[in-house]
Amino acid sequence: MDTEQLIQTLARDVEPVTPLRRPSLRATAWVVGAAVYLAALIAVMSPRDDLGARVQDTWFLIEQGAALLMGVTAAAAALASVVPGRSRRILLLPLGPLAVWLGMIGFGALQDAQTLGLGGILVQVNWRCVTAILAGAAVPAVAMAFMVRRGAPLTPRLTAGLGGLAAAGLGNFAVCLSHPHGVDLIWHAGTVLLLAAAAAWIGSHLLRWPQLTR
């Protein structure tokens, strides 16, 4: 087949493709949808009794603000990562909020260790937080998976890990508004990071770009 025939064949068989919207718009749509779902989830679980007092606590506001910002920036980074040619700098956006959030949780864990002792921390079991974070992250994670599959996930592990971090971060934020919790380092930070790692592992199998194109 010569070049002219190849061009004619491609022009005849080509199918129209709807371009994706900008990552910022897609991320905004995802955050709005996740917010509606999480608001309904908080209403079902009911807000924590001391929420009015906690929102006046600067430490609590900074920690939860960092968790929320981590989820939003991770979502933007995940959706930008499936657009070829986009600047890779956006992938660094979640690192700042993540560092602040982990730092504050780590400092709180040190205070708990001084008060309760290491043994006192380890015996505090809080599967309720884990279950609530999983419930909060489930629907946003599924929505994120559908959205990134519409792009070109050339870095499936990174894309899926960022998507998992986004969903888990918002799920954790909702949990902290619904009920008091115990040792954040184990039951909150540990759950969020494990979910992000699990998403990265699953994404390496589900977001293979050659398979999606076929």
Res. 7 pLDDT band, cuts 50 70 90: low
Give me the amino acid identity at 115: T
- Cβ atoms of 171 and 137 closer than 8 Å: yes
What is the per-residue pLDDT for 6? 58
- Cβ atoms of 163 and 144 closer than 8 Å: yes
Q: What percent of the chain has pLDDT over 70?
A: 77
Q: What is the mean pLDDT of residues 97-115?
A: 81
Q: What is the mean pLDDT of residues 143-157?
A: 89
What is the per-residue pLDDT for 51? 76
Which of 10-14, 25-29, 129-133, 207-211 comes out lowest in average pLDDT? Answer: 10-14
Tell me how far apart the alpha carbons of residues 47 and 38 are, in angstroms, rounded to a whole number.
Answer: 12
- Cβ atoms of 148 and 16 closer than 8 Å: no
8-55 tens-digit pLDDT: 665 565 565 566 788 889 999 999 999 999 999 888 887 777 777 777
Place of tokens 């080509």: 14
What is the per-residue pLDDT for 164? 95
What is the per-residue pLDDT for 158? 93
Given a cut of 70, is residue 189 above it in pLDDT? yes
Give me the amino acid identity at 169: G
Given a cut of 70, is residue 139 above it in pLDDT? yes
**Secondary structure (DSSP) of 122-189:** HT---HHHHHHHHHHHHHHHHHHHHHHHTS--SSHHHHHHHHHHHHHHHHHHHHHHHS--S-HIIIII
Which of 29-33, 121-125, 129-133, 161-165 comes out lowest in average pLDDT? Answer: 121-125
Cα 102–104–109 angle (5° rounding)? 90
CA-nearest of 32, 107, 28 to 66 is 107
Which of 31-35, 109-113, 117-121, 199-203 comes out lowest in average pLDDT? Answer: 117-121
CA-nearest of 136, 125, 120, 159 to 23 is 159
Given a cut of 60, is residue 136 above it in pLDDT? yes
The CA radius of gyration of the chain, in Å to the nearest whole number, is 21
What is the per-residue pLDDT for 145? 92
Q: What is the mean pLDDT of residues 125-141?
A: 85
What is the per-residue pLDDT for 72? 96
Higher-confidence residue: 67 or 153? 67
Q: What percent of the chain has pLDDT over 90?
A: 41
Res. 128 pLDDT band, cuts 50 70 90: confident
